[in-house]
Amino acid sequence: MELKEKGLLLVLSGPSGVGKGTVRKALFERQTSLQYSISMTTRAPRVGEVEGVDYFFKTRDEFEQLIKEDRLLEWAEYAGNYYGTPIDYVNDTLNRGQDVFLEIEVKGAMQVKKAFPEGVFLFLAPPSLAELRSRILGRGTEDEATITRRLEAAREEIELMDEYDYVVVNDHIEKACSRVEAIVTAEHCKRSRVASVYQKALESDQ
Ligand code: 5GP
């Protein structure tokens, strides 16, 4: 019989401007069996962003309807816009035995932890706060008020590191990707996870 394991729910989070999106994109450009959960957002698409690839772009009314109908695993308001994770996609993919990868901000990650404590929580950390500032400034697409708001949020977010299972320092994108891949491999080898699958197989054989 096939010993089918349920997929892992991997959550990559961390402070604003740390490079979550960049690491996620680089990770998915590599050969990966991870399934990326595309988020819903009310933010306007940036140049080059594609509906259904980068995000599902929604109006505030549509998003609030999704909240009301409990269709989101988590959601947060961030820099004036809603962001959220569609729950059906996550459940269906995990039940098919595939690993789901979320790249979300920290308030949402903490909601996932409550709803789904068996998830694997990865905190992407900046090599230093100074570098974080220059990365945000270097992005060049945000105004002063947005930058200040993002930095303030970052200070609070860093204190949240304690809530995570792993810390991945984003000193170098490819190295950060390799660390994430190593964590995924290790999680699949965890005795508790492997043993429960064998246990189920033994029970169903009796
Ligand atoms: P951006 O507007 O730069 O694409 O994303 C802003 C922030 O929202 C990033 O920190 C990103 O990780 C986060 N984000 C993207 N999708 C989601 C989501 O579904 N839920 C939550 N809570 N945050 C998200």
Confidence at 3, pLDDT banded by 50, 70, 90: low
In whole angstroms, what separates CA 102 from the centre of its chain? 3
Distance in Å from the first CA to the final CA of the chain: 13
Residue 82 CA to ligand 1 center (angstroms) comes to 9
Confidence at 147, pLDDT banded by 50, 70, 90: confident
Residue nearest to atom 24 of ligand 1 (CA): 104
The span from the CA of 31 to the CA of 56, in Å, is 24
Strand, coil or helix: 119? coil
Q: Is 103 in the pocket of ligand 1 (CB under 6 A)?
A: yes
Instruction: Answer yes or no: is pLDDT of 187 > 60.
Output: yes
Give the total residue count for the chain. 206
- Residue-wise DSSP of 134-192: HHHHHH--S-HHHHHHHHHHHHHHHGGGGG-SEEEE-SSHHHHHHHHHHHHHHHHH-HH
pTM over cut 0.85: yes
Residue nearest to atom 14 of ligand 1 (CA): 104
Instruction: Please report the domains of the chain, with CATH numbers, ordered by start residue.
Output: 9-37+98-204 (3.40.50.300)
Q: What are 118-131's pLDDT values in tens digits?
A: 999 999 998 866 66
Atom of ligand 1 nearest to the CA of 14: 10
Q: Is 20 in the pocket of ligand 1 (CB under 6 A)?
A: yes
Task: Check residue 41 and give its pLDDT.
Answer: 98
Amino acid residing at 84? G
